[in-house]
């Protein structure tokens, strides 16, 4: 997602599930909230530059 200023939002909440039929449609977080989306990027290590 993009913020109002056009920057990409980085979300660090823990993911419970990634859902979709033939493509990613939403991600469910451990806190129970779900976010609809078209794709996802997951960094597996700490990134010093994004």
CA separation for the pair 36, 38 (Å, rounded): 7
Q: What's the pLDDT score for residue 21?
A: 92
27 burial via Cβ count (<10 Å: 0-12, 13-18, 19+): buried
pLDDT digits (tens, 9 = 90+) for 3-49: 667 777 778 899 999 999 999 999 999 999 999 988 887 777 766 65
Full domain range(s) for residue 13: 1-50
Look at phi and psi of residue 37 and say left if phi exceeds 0, alpha if psi is from -120 to 50, else beta. beta
* Number of domain units in the chain: 1
- The answer to whether the predicted template modeling score (pTM) of the entire model surpasses 0.85 is no
């Amino acid at each position: 997602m993009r913020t109002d200023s056009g920057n990409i939002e980085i979300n660090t909440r823990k993911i419970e599930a990634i859902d979709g039929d033939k493509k990613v449609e939403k991600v469910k977080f451990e806190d129970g909230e779900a976010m609809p989306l078209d794709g996802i990027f997951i960094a597996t290590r700490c990134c010093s530059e994004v």
